Amino acid sequence: MSEEALNLEHARCPVCLSDNYSVVFKRPDLRLCCSSHRFTIVRCRECGMGYVLDRPSEASLSLFYPPRFYATNHDRSGQLRPLQNKLALVNAYAAEFSGGPLLDLGCAGGEFVAHAQQNGWQASGYDWTTSLSNQTSLPIQYGGKLDELYADKSFSVITAWAVMEHVATLRDTMQNISRMLAPGGIFIALVPNFASIPGRYMQGDDIPRHLNLFTPGSFDRLLREYGLQPVQHLFDQKIFMGTHRGLLVYLLKRLAGEPLDDIVSQHRAPGRRPEFCGMLRGKPSALTRTVCWFDRTVFAPAADWFAQKIGRGFTMTIIARKTA
Ligand SMILES: [Zn+2]
């Protein structure tokens, strides 16, 4: 895309609307390279929420969602094991509503809608994108406004798998979620955890597509404001990968004097991974290769396990219940 097409706007905290922040880091779109602009990621001093300060305007946002975004995300969301694990969560926390109406927000290709439908739920799906069209016989809606589309609908369960971090109209969407849920209904959201080492230090979020960088506390605050009571926080990787892999390599390269910006770029940018795992200060390095191997086989699995135990995993699933 051309830089001229990118319009930026100053964002306030998407949870508490405060404009009191501290800068955490700056980085460009390393994954899909839709722009070379270095976005500023900040942390709200009032509620702890992370967010993109200079975020793309509503008109510019679609430029960061080229067709290849949906192509790469599709592959993962269609895998059977994560689908089964999503459904297991729904069945565990919404057992009293078994087989009731379920809405999957940000449903992309509708893989979870189909899986839930096959397992007895009255499942339907919604996605903000208009670059996809419904290829199924399932009730899936692309584009349109939630308050108009579902004005008279009530759902027992609403799910949002790796979606809320992308939503530009976060508070408006939460209001709709609260409105669409039946009394006692269950909301399940999976998001990256900004209060984790991969989120805060390794800059693991997909910037700038992830506009909202939640912590357990900031998500809880948002839920309560809209009449939902958090009932569980999970930090495992059964649905979505969120690992500490690479952390030892970061530390080695930092000790050797490499700038953090460049280490993040080596780790995240397509084509730079061999440099990340095999070089130190621009030269081939057996030490880096050894540390990378140890990190992958021993350290990262242990760090992931420990982080999950203390509630600091990079993947966070929050289950909440509508209180009234
Ligand atoms: Zn805030």
d(CA 295, CA 188): 32
Q: Same domain, yes or no, for 171 and 261?
A: no
The dihedral built from the CA positions of residue 158, 163, 168 and 171, taken in this order, carries a sign that is positive
* Alpha carbon of 124 to ligand 1 centroid (Å): 32
* Alpha carbon of 105 to ligand 1 centroid (Å): 24
Q: Same domain, yes or no, for 139 and 269?
A: no
* Alpha carbon of 10 to ligand 1 centroid (Å): 14
32 in a structural domain = no
Q: Same domain, yes or no, for 173 and 140?
A: yes
* Alpha carbon of 233 to ligand 1 centroid (Å): 20
139 in a structural domain = yes
* Alpha carbon of 45 to ligand 1 centroid (Å): 7
Q: Same domain, yes or no, for 109 and 217?
A: yes
* Alpha carbon of 15 to ligand 1 centroid (Å): 5
* Alpha carbon of 219 to ligand 1 centroid (Å): 10
Q: What pLDDT shows up at residue 74? A: 52
Full domain range(s) for residue 285 = 247-307
74 in a structural domain = no
Strands (E), 76-180: 101-105, 122-127, 140-142, 155-161
* Alpha carbon of 296 to ligand 1 centroid (Å): 35
261 in a structural domain = yes
Q: Same domain, yes or no, for 161 and 124?
A: yes
* Alpha carbon of 16 to ligand 1 centroid (Å): 4
Q: Same domain, yes or no, for 133 and 217?
A: yes
d(CA 262, CA 260): 5
Per-residue pLDDT of the chain (324 residues; tens, 9 = 90+): 445 579 999 999 999 999 999 999 999 999 999 999 999 999 999 999 999 999 999 889 989 998 888 776 554 556 889 999 999 999 999 999 999 999 999 999 999 999 999 999 999 999 998 888 898 899 999 999 999 999 999 999 999 999 999 999 999 999 999 999 999 999 999 999 999 999 999 999 999 999 999 999 999 999 999 999 999 999 998 998 889 999 999 999 999 999 999 999 999 998 999 999 999 999 999 999 999 999 999 999 999 999 999 999 999 999 999 996
Question: What are the C-alpha distances in Å from 88 to residues 73, 85, 291?
Answer: 21, 5, 37
* Alpha carbon of 50 to ligand 1 centroid (Å): 8
* Alpha carbon of 291 to ligand 1 centroid (Å): 38
> The whole model's pTM is what?
0.94
29 in a structural domain = no
d(CA 167, CA 11): 13
User: Could you tell me the end-to-end alpha-carbon distance of the chain, in angstroms, rounded to an integer?
Assistant: 46
Q: What pLDDT shows up at residue 3? A: 53
Within its chain, how far is the Cα of 38 from the centroid?
A: 20
Q: Same domain, yes or no, for 301 and 318?
A: no
The dihedral built from the CA positions of residue 192, 196, 199 and 200, taken in this order, carries a sign that is positive
* Alpha carbon of 55 to ligand 1 centroid (Å): 16
* Alpha carbon of 318 to ligand 1 centroid (Å): 19
* Alpha carbon of 288 to ligand 1 centroid (Å): 39
160 in a structural domain = yes
Q: Same domain, yes or no, for 121 and 173?
A: yes
Question: Tell me, what CATH number does 105's domain have?
Answer: 3.40.50.150
293 in a structural domain = yes
d(CA 26, CA 9): 16
Q: Same domain, yes or no, for 158 and 261?
A: no
The CA angle 113-232-245, to the nearest 5 degrees, is 80
* Alpha carbon of 126 to ligand 1 centroid (Å): 28
Evaluate whether 114 touches 129 at the Cβ level (below 8 Å). no
* Alpha carbon of 213 to ligand 1 centroid (Å): 11
Q: Same domain, yes or no, for 153 and 171?
A: yes
* Alpha carbon of 173 to ligand 1 centroid (Å): 17
* Alpha carbon of 63 to ligand 1 centroid (Å): 27
Q: What pLDDT shows up at residue 72? A: 64
63 in a structural domain = no
Q: Same domain, yes or no, for 166 and 315?
A: yes
- Smallest Cα–Cα separation from 173: which of 227, 105, 124? 105
Q: Same domain, yes or no, for 220 and 143?
A: yes
Number of domains in the chain: 2
Evaluate whether 192 touches 236 at the Cβ level (below 8 Å). no
* Alpha carbon of 218 to ligand 1 centroid (Å): 7
* Alpha carbon of 20 to ligand 1 centroid (Å): 8
- Smallest Cα–Cα separation from 95: which of 184, 219, 220, 189? 184
CB atoms within 10 A of CB 134: 14
| Cis peptide bond prior to 208, omega within 30° of 0 | yes
